[in-house]
Amino acid sequence: MHIDESKRNGLSGLGSKNGKSGLEVFLSYYAPYKGLLTGDMACSVLAAALALVLPICVRYVTGTVLNNGADGADGFMGEIFKMGAIMVAIMAAQTGFSIFYDYKGHDMGAKMERDMRFELFSHYQKLPFRFFDEQNVGQLMSRLVNDLLDMAEMCHHTPENIMVYGTQFIGSLIILFLINRKLTLLVFVLLIAMALYSIPFYRKMIAIITQNRRLIADVNARAEENLSGIRTIKSFAAEQVEIQKFKYENDRFYAGRSGIYKFESLNFQVIDKFFKPLITVAIVTVGGMWVAQGELAAADLLIFIMYAAYLTAPVPSLAFMVEQVQEGMTGYRRFREIMDTVPEIADADGAAELRVAKGAGGVVFDNVTFRYNEDHEYVLRNVNLNVAPGETVAIVGRSGVGKTTLCSLIPRFYEVSEGDIRIDGIRIRDVSQESLRQQIGVVRQETFLFDGTIMENILYGFPEAKAAAGAAGVAAEAQAAVDAAVEAAKKANAHEFISKLPDGYATHIGQRGVKLSGGQQQRISIARVFLKDPPILILDEATSSLDYESERAVMNSLKALAKDRTTFIIAHRLSTIRNADRIVVLTDEGIAEQGAHEELLALGGAYSELYRSYEQ
């Protein structure tokens, strides 16, 4: 599974949904806030329109009152104060409309960002292991945060800018045309020249901005990988190597940003410092000649200059708008790339709820074949295995032979390519993923604990209890949840070391449980599974990274956990699985041997060879 990046440009890259075009899908995110959007755009138009009225008021004072006077001095002064009051009222109304569209427009964009981020995060939860195997966490984080932030800014500002600048441009052009057609034509020719100058720069900026969005994601990915593996980096004294790697990605991002700033400067400064003054100079020069010749009134020339400023004001802002729209659309396309990634593992229509009774949980692999992708080699071929309820089966074999993959097929972390897996005679494809995984407990070699307290981490295996404990305080259900967590910790041989901690079960363990030893982390993860109380158990090399004392404590916990459960054990240390009911030897060709430890040693085959190589 991979993200299709072939639709980077144009509306085809906006995705599709339920038969809607990409543009329709994009606009659908405005739908919950159409009232807010309407008010936002209306206030934008009104604010821009009111701005166009102010020069008319100035013209009235300069061209009518001052030239023609009024009836007496009192009337003269009264007209000026009256017009001044009208202008103040216009500015007050314009300010009110501007505050509304600035505040509520930003709020609308933030709401859309919130909705999309929640939708994207929820979609992440639906995607299978295979998707995350092929993705970088930093890249996925960048799509969740940076990309959607840019998208929200675009969704807010673009409609407003179109309304404000469009109203100002069209309104000014009409008014200028009414004042003097020939002078307006001159200004329009200069605007066309300005646009022709800007177009190549906008095209270059669009290409660089699209590339830069990927480059900042690479920077995030490099930083995330470094910070996640900082202990390994320090243990190998590889800080300088990592610094150089980050420098490479950071310099690439800088080069991209520098290119944007270069083209922005060449575009914006030439327009702002040359073309805009050129238009003013042209108006003053030509208009001044016409005033001198009596073809144009001085008041009309003044008002023409004021409206020409409104006409050209949006042009320099186009550079910012183009950058903002391109960054926003690039972020939205990257959002849609994930949203349009269809989970290959999905519940079938009418999927049943799987409920496995205590002491049940027989698992059957029926001619199971698997490969990660069509262009990959097969990892498993024609595996047939019948595991009885309550049986403990150890899966052994050389590294890379597919032991973990085989067990990962049971909870449908991956989908079998061919064949079926059944639990108590029910195909796992026919039941919901949630109910399937509720019946299975997994203890991995690499324990993942969440930043929080020990109690919160144990209760993670029992969400209902966690919610009760978090919300009810001293309520009976909260106390019952805490008691259940403590009992689970006792069964996992974790209660003793937890009780010796200064804050006991309320001890904060840091991100990934870094404040605890490996053995302590593992026993908390086992307590989590005890609390979940699943009928089927998968132990994936759960003790391979522990020292002898920790391993012994964890092994005792695992032995208690596996009692009366259907258990799959994946282990490199073959001494830890001698007492398994059955040992299955997996090879590239499938299952080579299966039987009890002594029985397989006596055969002198694949298991015997493995045992000698591992135990030497």
Q: What is the rounded distance in angstroms from the CA atom of residue 85 to the CA atom of residue 548? A: 88
CB 367 within 8 A of CB 384: yes
Q: How many C-beta neighbours within 10 Å does residue 372 have?
A: 17
Q: What is the rounded distance in angstroms from the CA atom of residue 31 to the CA atom of residue 51? A: 30
Pair 210, 325 in one domain:
yes
Domain region containing 319: 32-339
Confidence (pLDDT) at 10: 44
Confidence (pLDDT) at 330: 81
CB 606 within 8 A of CB 395: no
Confidence (pLDDT) at 461: 62
Q: Are strands 363-370 and 380-387 parallel, antiparallel or unpaired?
A: antiparallel
Confidence (pLDDT) at 95: 92
Confidence (pLDDT) at 539: 87
Pair 187, 315 in one domain:
yes
Confidence (pLDDT) at 464: 58
Number of domains in the chain: 3
Q: What is the rounded distance in angstroms from the CA atom of residue 275 to the CA atom of residue 316? A: 10
- Report if residue 27 sits inside a domain: no
Pair 422, 560 in one domain:
yes
Confidence (pLDDT) at 7: 43
Of the candidates 78, 303, 368, the one whose C-alpha atom is nearest the C-alpha of residue 172 is: 303
Q: What is the rounded distance in angstroms from the CA atom of residue 526 to the CA atom of residue 492? A: 6
Pair 316, 397 in one domain:
no
Pair 306, 264 in one domain:
yes
Global pTM reads 0.74
Confidence (pLDDT) at 65: 61
Confidence (pLDDT) at 63: 64
Residue 377, classed as helix, strand or coil, is coil
Pair 162, 180 in one domain:
yes
Pair 412, 457 in one domain:
no
Final residue before a domain boundary, out of 312, 339, 366: 339
Pair 385, 305 in one domain:
no
For 3: left if phi > 0, alpha if psi spans -120 to 50, otherwise beta; the answer is: beta
Tell me the CATH number at 470. 3.40.50.300
Pair 227, 305 in one domain:
yes
Pair 379, 237 in one domain:
no
Confidence (pLDDT) at 363: 94
Q: What is the rounded distance in angstroms from the CA atom of residue 459 to the CA atom of residue 465? A: 6
Q: What is the rounded distance in angstroms from the CA atom of residue 577 to the CA atom of residue 538? A: 13
| Grouped pLDDT means (10 residues each) for the chain, 616 residues | 46 54 84 91 91 82 62 64 88 92 89 91 86 80 85 86 86 87 88 83 77 79 77 73 86 84 80 84 88 83 83 71 79 87 84 86 92 82 92 89 90 91 93 90 82 85 54 57 87 87 86 78 86 88 67 76 87 78 89 89 86 68
In terms of Cβ atoms closer than 10 Å to its own Cβ (0-12, 13-18, 19+), residue 18 is: exposed
Pair 357, 466 in one domain:
no
Q: What is the rounded distance in angstroms from the CA atom of residue 408 to the CA atom of residue 414? A: 6
Structure tokens at 597: 């430890």
- Report if residue 345 sits inside a domain: no
Confidence (pLDDT) at 409: 93
In terms of Cβ atoms closer than 10 Å to its own Cβ (0-12, 13-18, 19+), residue 238 is: middle
Confidence (pLDDT) at 82: 85
Final residue before a domain boundary, out of 317, 339, 361: 339
